[in-house]
Chains A and B, each alone.
Chain A
Amino acid sequence: MIIKFPFIKGEGVVTLLKIDNLSKIFNIHILGDKVIEGCDDVSFIVERGEFLGISGPSGAGKSTILKCIYRTYLPSGGDIWYDSVLYEQVNLAAIADHMVIGLRHKEIGYVSQFLKVIPRVSAIDIVAEPLLLKNGASPGEAKTKAGELLERLNIPQKLFDAYPATFSGGEQQRVNIARAIIWKPRLLLLDEPTASLDKDSTAIVMELLKEMRSEGTLMVGIFHDNELMELMADRIYRVNLGAKS
């Protein structure tokens, strides 16, 4: 595979993610080949240490963009260039599935809006698992760090050993965030991570995200609240409904 990589590396500025003309079309065969447009003509770059916010009205395709980067959606057109540690420069829109798995394992994290509960695993183990599997931490070390993080996120200690399926929405979401950030991914995709959180929890999450950014994690995120977005993001990419119709 010969890749002509389009990144320009200048003085001190390093582009790690470059999206070119990304589009996603859903073809729903079971509804008589109905075509639904997810996003169209999306282009942006993210530089090292940057937090890029994506804003736009509901239904404009913000989540679609994140899911295309993570490859939960197969992009229909365009390129997603990422300067990875594992495979160097790759087009996430085109590389083989097992390479995506490798990148998800070592570099790219994703925080969804809701915790997809892993059945019969306690909160602390859910959070400790990435450290064990991805960072090679010892079980003791992983548990200690998971406990510290949950504590910072105000999860009561008595819940550590319980199954999150029984938790409140906000508690579940904090477990979800803890699991996504504990292993310090290199690129973190955030899909409204604070939508179900109260003010205090949101402030803690914001603080954690800022810490991660200062440690060099690249972030692309959607926030339900524009104020939050302005507060967090270095730059904002706007998607419009109008561009789609």
Chain B
Amino acid sequence: MVIVPILHVKNLTKIFGDGCPLCPHSTGPEYETNVCKHCGSVVACSDVSFELYPGEILGIVGESGSGKSTVVNLLHFDWEVTSGEMFVQNTKMNGSININEKNLFALSSYQKRQIRNSFMGIVYQNPYLGLRMDVSSGGNIAERLIMANWRSIAMMRDRASELLEKTEIPVKRMDEPPRNFSGGMQQRVQIAKALSNNPLILLLDEVTTGLDVSVQARVLDLIRNLQREINLSIIVVSHDLGVIRLLTKRTIVMKYGRIVEIGLTDQILEDPQHPYTQILVSSQL
């Protein structure tokens, strides 16, 4: 029995600045920097390769500046990649384009939008990036549904209330803008919005960072339950090993834009191999 990954990322690289041929060879954990000393460019991530399997939660952990958020932003086409490839196992895209065995980063921006709208969802650390704060919560969800080609207003309203219920937002507050909500509620509206198009892949970028612990606990429980209910494939980016331990089965450890270690989460925590992972694990409170 062979399990086919739902997402396959190869040699993902993002350089801010002009870049030079020496960039990859003068940055990274062994040089303890991600600024190239030859051209001054910032190598946000380089040579990042991994697979995401159906139904799994994969963690990406690292300190700030390690490139972990860069990776999810690139996967979501928020930024242009400098180089690299991404392949998705085609299970849902119907009709318009055949993306089997195609490098998604090489598609047109129209096609990238289509892919993003039909099978990706993202939740940012900062709800201002993921939500329109002045538009009602229901409207935020509807906006995404419209992008995914929904047209019936009644159906969109039903879907929005279903999702808000799932994410524990009182449905009667559906017509209020997220600006009125607390941080934890805003995060849950973001999750509802990200789930609205039934994505195959959900990207969570530090979703509980900055929330107080009881609110953080509710958001984490919500993610755990959603994953069990709808069997999503999720990438969780966090600097918090507690979050990684609770949610994930496999983890990528990043430092200065590079992957230093990939492994089973319990192996990363109990038998870390790379010197940086050992420091990270031993630094836990």
Using a CB–CB cutoff of 8 Å, the interface residues on chain A facing chain B are: 26-30, 67, 71-74, 86-87, 97-102, 118-120, 133
Contacts and interface: CB of A to CB of B under 8 A. Distances in A.
A97 B263 contact: yes
A101 B217 contact: no
Contacts of A133: 228
Contacts of B274: 29
Which 3 residue pairs spanning A and B have beta carbons closest together? A29-B275, A73-B271, A72-B266
A30 B278 contact: yes
A99 B266 CA distance: 15
A56 B267 CA distance: 24
Given A28-B278, A29-B278, A72-B266, A97 B250 contact: yes
A153 B249 CA distance: 29
B273 interface: yes
Contacts of A102: 3
Interface in B212-246: 217, 221, 228, 246
Interface residues of B, number: 24
B1 A87 contact: yes
A199 B275 CA distance: 44
B217 A120 contact: yes
B205 interface: no
A86 B217 contact: no
A100 B264 CA distance: 8
A74 B263 CA distance: 9
Given A72-B270, A119-B217, A120-B221, A101 B228 contact: no
B264 A101 contact: yes
B279 interface: yes
B3 A72 contact: no
A98 B267 CA distance: 13
25 contacts: A26-B271, A27-B273, A29-B274, A29-B275, A30-B275, A30-B278, A30-B279, A30-B282, A67-B270, A71-B264, A72-B264, A73-B271, A97-B250, A97-B262, A98-B3, A98-B51, A98-B53, A100-B264, A101-B53, A101-B56, A118-B246, A119-B246, A120-B217, A120-B221, A133-B228
Contacts of A71: 264, 267
A120 B214 CA distance: 11
Given A30-B275, A101-B56, A101-B249, 9 more contacts: A27-B273, A72-B266, A74-B263, A74-B271, A98-B250, A100-B264, A101-B53, A102-B3, A120-B217
Contacts of B217: 119-120
A72 B249 CA distance: 11
Contacts of A73: 267, 270-271
Nearest to A110: B266
Contacts of B271: 26, 67, 72-74
